[in-house]
């Protein structure tokens, strides 16, 4: 939990990723069955923001970009860190919602076509890894902590 302005913000990336892995590995069945799985948000690490900037979904200010390019080490809970992670969560939510309404209108897709933040997170994470060469030019935020 980090104080951010007047709010206490909790980002539970590591706990969420366990649930995401269980759900994905068990295909939503048995130990991987969660009735509210679609309410989980993306896992706010340092790679998804990089992918989101790569795709032009997020844009960093010049000031922030300069700090990231210099490799400034942030402290856990710094405003910049909470903003990068929080904006990534919100950006992924907006993409999920917009894509879900496209899916609902597209009758060429199978009726069980599903999208949630886990599926999009995995897509972005894998994309970044598969395109590590090109995406390297987008800097990541560096931070020493136990929360990633």
What are the residues binding ligand 56B (CB under 6 A)?
Answer: 21, 43, 45, 47-48, 121-122, 125, 148
**Residue 45 known to be catalytic:** yes
Look up tokens 């309410």; give the residue. 39
Which residue minimizes CB distance to ligand 56B?
43
- Cα angle value 97/102/107 (rounded, 5°): 140
**Which residue, 80 or 88, has its beta carbon nearer to ligand 56B?**
88
**Which residue, 49 or 60, has its beta carbon nearer to ligand 56B?**
49
Q: Which residues contact 85 (CB under 8 A, 6 or more apart)?
A: 11, 13, 44, 49
**Which residue, 48 or 138, has its beta carbon nearer to ligand 56B?**
48
Which one is catalytic: 38, 45, 78, 112? 45
Report, in Å, the least distance between residue 126 CB and ligand 56B. Answer: 8
Report, in Å, the least distance between residue 18 CB and ligand 56B. Answer: 10
Report, in Å, the least distance between residue 146 CB and ligand 56B. Answer: 11
Q: Which residues are catalytic?
A: 45
């Amino acid at each position: 939990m980090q104080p951010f302005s007047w709010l206490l913000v909790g980002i539970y990336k590591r706990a969420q990723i366990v649930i995401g892995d269980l759900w994905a590995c068990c295909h939503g069945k048995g130990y991987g069955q969660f009735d509210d799985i679609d309410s989980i948000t993306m896992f706010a690490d340092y790679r998804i923001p990089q992918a989101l900037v790569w795709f032009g979904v997020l844009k960093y200010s010049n000031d922030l970009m300069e700090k990231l390019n210099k490799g400034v080490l942030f402290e856990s809970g710094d405003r910049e860190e909470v903003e990068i992670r929080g904006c990534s969560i919100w950006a992924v939510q907006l993409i999920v919602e917009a894509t879900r309404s496209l899916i609902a209108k597209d009758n060429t897709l199978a009726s069980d076509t599903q999208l949630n933040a886990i599926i999009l997170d995995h897509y972005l994470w894998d994309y970044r890894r598969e395109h590590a060469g090109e995406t390297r030019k987008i800097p990541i935020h560096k931070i020493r902590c136990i929360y990633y």
